[in-house]
Amino acid sequence: MRQIPFLAPCLCGALALAGCVGANSDAKSKAALHSVNLTDDSNLSEIMLTVGDPSEAVAYFSKAAAENPSRIDLKRGLAKSLVRAGKADQAIAVWATIIASPEGSNEDRVNLADAQIRINNWAAAEASLNSVPPTFETFERYRLEAMVADSKKNWKKADSFYEIAAGLTTRPSGVYNNWGFSKLTRGDNAGAERLFLQALTYEPQLFTAKNNLVLARAGQHKYDMPVVNMTQQERAQLLYTAGLAAVKQGDVSVGKDLLRSAVDTAPSYFEAAERSLTALGG
């Protein structure tokens, strides 16, 4: 009986210890589960931003951001998905909210400028880029700086920014294509031709660059097809582009021949080329 007072405290201590172990185990389990949930959310967000349907992505991030207002990553996901869905005007409001928060970053300011360019608000885009310190050097920043310089016809600055942007990415085909188009609008067809060819060395299937290349060559009265990879359908479309360019430049007979070749080359009926040919009396 004398042992009872001694056993009672020991038993209580053991129960208390068991309670602590259980509590610690529950806390660890909850923490682990929370970590898994965050990882799953991150993976789902990544899928939504890359391969998901833009409209579905907007719905997902709208709901997630509303339910977790403190999660800045979800707001960024919403802004990016709005841009993908062609709703840059709505994305601008979200980016502005993000930038106004303590977690707003220089990358967010660059993304805001991108959205502003998409709705042709060049002055606002320039102001957004000017708010980013010069030490923040990224591909996207210089790509946008080049476009803004282009819009102001500041060709020297545009060329400099395009060159820097091309050096900051392993996939510069889009930069060279944009730079080439800039040269094309300035009337520098030879310079544009070189840049479009450069774009195609990085992305041989980029049809926009192929079409622009044909325009640059046509501007020099070079109407033969460039030596680049192309499908038969692409060849027909490029012949059509060259034909219209030739007619526009006064080389009507050459243009007619090119349009006939476009009709003959297309695997299916090339209605646009046929209409143009008919309009020219061909």
**pLDDT (tens digit per residue) in 78-132:** 999 999 999 999 999 999 999 999 999 999 999 999 999 999 999 999 999 999 9
**Whole-number mean pLDDT of the chain?**
86
Sequence-distant contacts of 46-54: CB under 8 A, at least 24 apart: 48/77, 48/81, 49/77, 49/80, 49/81, 49/84, 54/81, 54/84, 54/85, 54/86
Residue 31 above 70 pLDDT?
no
Closest CA to 183 of 163, 167, 203: 163
Does any domain span residue 234? Answer: no
Do 46 and 72 fall into the same domain? no
3 state SS of 268: coil
Of 88, 121, 154, which marks where a domain is finished? 121
Do 34 and 65 fall into the same domain? no
Does any domain span residue 27? Answer: yes
CA distance 212 to 80: 29
CA distance 75 to 64: 9
Do 42 and 57 fall into the same domain? no
Do 47 and 58 fall into the same domain? no
- Least reliable range by pLDDT among 26-40, 145-159, 203-217: 26-40
Query: What is the 8-class DSSP label of residue 220?
Result: T
Q: For the chain, what is the domain count?
A: 2
Mean pLDDT of 70-84: 95
Mean pLDDT of 29-50: 56
**CA–CA distance from 64 to each of 47, 77, 78 (Å)?**
15, 10, 9
pLDDT at residue 269, rounded to an integer: 53
Do 3 and 57 fall into the same domain? no
Do 26 and 82 fall into the same domain? no
Q: Helices 54-67 and 72-84 sit at what angle, rounded to 10 degrees?
A: 160
pLDDT at residue 274, rounded to an integer: 80
Do 104 and 63 fall into the same domain? yes
Residue 256 above 80 pLDDT?
yes
Of 103, 121, 139, which marks where a domain is finished? 121
Mean pLDDT of 41-57: 75
Does any domain span residue 29? Answer: yes
- Least reliable range by pLDDT among 7-11, 141-145, 233-237, 239-243: 7-11
Per-residue model confidence as pLDDT tens digits over 158-196: 999 999 999 999 999 999 999 999 999 999 999 999 999
Q: How many residues does the chain have?
A: 282
Of 68, 93, 121, which marks where a domain is finished? 121
Residue 15 above 80 pLDDT?
no
Burial status of residue 54 (CB atoms within 10 A of its CB: 0-12, 13-18, 19 or more)? middle
**CATH code for the domain in which residue 84 is found:** 1.25.40.10
Q: Which two tokens stand for residue 109?
A: 């300011």
Which helix or strand (DSSP H or E) is residue 238 part of?
A: helix 232-248
Do 43 and 78 fall into the same domain? no
Residue 282 binned pLDDT confidence (cut-offs 50, 70, 90) = low
Do 47 and 57 fall into the same domain? no
Q: Which two tokens stand for residue 162?
A: 């395009």
Percent of the chain with pLDDT over 70: 82
Domain extent at residue 38: 1-51
Does any domain span residue 70? Answer: yes
Residue 40 binned pLDDT confidence (cut-offs 50, 70, 90) = low
